[in-house]
Amino acid sequence: MVLPSWNESSGGTRDTRLVMSPILPPRVVPPRGKAERSALGETRNFQKPCNTVPTCGHKGSMDEVKTLPRPAPSAEERFAAVHTACHDTVYRYLARRIIPAHLAEDLTGEVFVIVWSKVLDGAHLEVPYVVAIARNLLRNAYRASAKASKLRAALALTQQRPAIQDPGVALGLAALKETERELLLLTYWDSFTSEEIAVILGTSPGAIRVRLHRARKSFAAALESESTQRGPLGKAARP
């Protein structure tokens, strides 16, 4: 390697002559033996963080710590969950089909007495199943011989319900069979799906869809007939 030199005799001026500087050989690190490398590695890693957490006597990583299973809910907790999820729907279902509010409240209370017994038996109850219980109680109460006359006067016919404002729609529903009317009300009044109605009525969703199609056709024919009889202005047409 060539480097410039400094000439002291010329008063500190740079000498244009060049001198040769020997090239230093590269530093060679002698190889260490296996024992030496092992000792060196232990020295360097003596502060390596430990990936285990010895908490409560557990040895292993945090990923290995398993959470304890939650205890099963009590019967009271399961009943409270069913009551919260179903009460309003059941009450609306009954109140739309029976005029006195206190009768709907009484039947709703009877529904949840049955629900409590089902919960004690370990049953898993959802809204359609509880509505099916309400439907059966309503039908049984309507058919009870001792209370038939009182309940028949209290039960609301569809055309008398204030929720149906269109008299043509009310009369069209009244002209249907009971099964067709109930299916249409469950679908369009209570907003249940075919799967939920199948649980309520105790049949299959496919059968519900077929019956609903027929009920729609019957209702359309009843509306057309009612419209013809009432005339264009909603008055009864003259014979």
Per-domain residue ranges of the chain:
73-156, 158-239
At residue 37, does pLDDT exceed 70? no
Q: Specify which of 2-16, 166-180, 224-238 reaches the highest per-range mean pLDDT.
A: 166-180
pLDDT at 75 over 70: yes
pLDDT reported for residue 159: 37
The string of pLDDT tens digits covering residues 167-198 is 777 788 888 998 999 999 999 989 999 999 99
Q: Is the pLDDT of residue 34 over 80?
A: no
Is the pLDDT confidence value at 86 over 80? yes
Considering only the C-alpha atoms of the chain, give the largest distance between any 2 of them, rounded to a whole number of Å: 144
pTM exceeding 0.75: no
Select the CATH number that applies to the domain covering 158-239 from these four: 1.10.3720.10, 2.10.69.10, 1.10.10.10, 3.50.50.60.
1.10.10.10
User: In the predicted model, is pLDDT for residue 208 greater than 60?
Assistant: yes
- Rounded Cα distance, 203 and 195, in Å: 9
